[in-house]
Structure 1
Amino acid sequence: MKKILIFSLIFSFTLIVFGQEVEEKKLTRKERRALHKQQQKELSEQMALVLSIAIDGKQWVLEANTLQNKRGSSVNVNSSLNFIAIEGEEAFVQLGSNTGMGQNGVGGVSVRGKVTKYEVKKNEKKGTYFITVYVTSALGSFDIRLDCNSDGQIANATVQGNSSRRVQYRGIIVPIPQSSVYKGTPVI
């Protein structure tokens, strides 16, 4: 039901935008700017609604474009291979690389685990989210602490295991149907 709602919202907004593009040719530059600003605002509001549904339904993916280790070293990465996915009561965390093959088939490591705790705090004034997820897996337990803006276009997550190892993911959050990630073979 939620997937149908998400797709219908996106489809209806697409029709509105295409319909307004024809009218833009008759407008002055100032009017076009005001119209564009209004469209961006409406798009952001709809994206915020879709993100809210995805987070509440535990059906989202953080597609990382940057990874950072505990010492602060950052590297740009492929977002389809480096992600954190929450699908109901299951979590999937993956690190991957385009340069080589690893035990997961995508040059890194993939971990599938069970979500033991899922807690969402929303700042109603700013529209931001802070999500805490505890996961148990074949590699042990780890926690994910994520914060993002209201439409999911700026998201940061820290994954920390039992040891002092920690990886920070930076990217965007999208609902699972809109995600373009490639899952490797998880550690069993």
Structure 2
Amino acid sequence: MKKILVLTGSPHPNGASSRLADEFVKGAKEAGNDVFRFDAGLQPLGELHFLQLDASERTIADNDIVSREVLPKLIEADVVVFVSSLYYFGMNAQLKAVIDRFYSINHELKDDKQSAVIMAGYGEGDDLKPMKDHFNIIQKYMRWQNIGTIVAEDSWNAAKLAKHLQEAYALGKSISA
């Protein structure tokens, strides 16, 4: 059994990337894994963004949801899965805000993890390339092994999305101890 952390960014609970995450989680749980999913896009935005640098700036409470729930799961995780829809050629801000919070614990995260990326977008080809490159750079920097990338191009198209939903399920199902 592997500990899997799934980080999503979509503010749309029934959107394409959320549905892809649902299928990944379903497959991973069926394979006997322990899965924790954090939907950053469904959280109050203020809790994700601000850190206190001096008395004049807004702060995140010591017990904010990312510090309290996500970072401990991230440290424990064997596998980290990033799921995002395409927003202006990149991941959405809510997911990026959570990833930015990794910085304070980078030394605990590097090496010894696997990672996967699931992207959904209304474009195709070069439209999703900048987001794919960004995730690849994060994985390379963290020295995490990429175990799969799903690029759900034209995710508005029900037939194309159905194929990618099957891929997400299969990727989750393929992860075992």
Is the structural similarity TM-score above 0.5? Answer: no
TM-score, length of structure 2 as denominator length: 0.24
TM-score, length of structure 1 as denominator length: 0.23
Q: Larger C-alpha radius of gyration, 1 or 2?
A: 1
Which one has a larger percent helix, Structure 1 or Structure 2?
Answer: 2
Which one has a larger percent strand, Structure 1 or Structure 2?
Answer: 1
